[in-house]
Structure 1
Amino acid sequence: MAETFDEIPISEVAPGDIVDEQGKTAKVVHKDATTGSDGTESMLITYEIDNGETFDVEYPATTKVRRFPESKWESPQSPTPHTPAGE
């Protein structure tokens, strides 16, 4: 994965984004606003890693994460159609 990234609030990630989750790249599959065990606003994010394994992480809504900006361009959710060269 490229070294370029944005540092954004977890509430701004979307399905298809690739983020740095504890030193590993993970794809956001689903996000849900929720209330944490302490009563504060939280985000529950479902990630997928390389082997297809998924896992959930709950974050305080103000948490910042590293998102790799090229991930949206490469994803099916990209607002700009993308066809690899030669296709």
Structure 2
Amino acid sequence: MSKVSGNDLIDDVTPGDIIAVDRGSGERPYKVVFKDPSDAGYLITFETDDGETFQLDLAAGTRVKRSLEAKWESAQSPTPNSEN
């Protein structure tokens, strides 16, 4: 992940963001597909590199590592992004 921020709140994460998640074998980057409110905070649906999805319940206010350029590095970006 490039330009990773470790001080982002899960509250600020949106679908399309890439965040680090530890599923028992260390932190790995996963794409956020859906984010729905839940009793504990948020039910987040993630997508793996293989296209599989999984869900985690994360408490509101949880700190996460997020790739700040994830959406803009994508080929699906609506506008060209060049660095000057």
Q: What is the TM-score normalised by the length of structure 2?
A: 0.79
Q: Which runs of 5+ in 1 are unaligned?
A: 37-41
C-alpha distance in 2 between matches for 1:82 and 1:58: 34
Corresponding residue for residue 38 of structure 2: 34
Distance 1:8 1:34 in 2: 19
1:35, 1:47 → 2: CA distance?
A: 19
SS class of match (1:11)? helix
* 5+ residue gaps, structure 2: none
How high is the sequence identity, in percent, across the aligned residues? 41
Q: Does the 8 Å contact 2:4/2:66 carry over to 1?
A: yes
Q: How far 1:74 moved relative to its partner?
A: 2.2
Larger Rg: 1 or 2? Answer: 1
Equivalent residue number for residue 9 of structure 1: 9
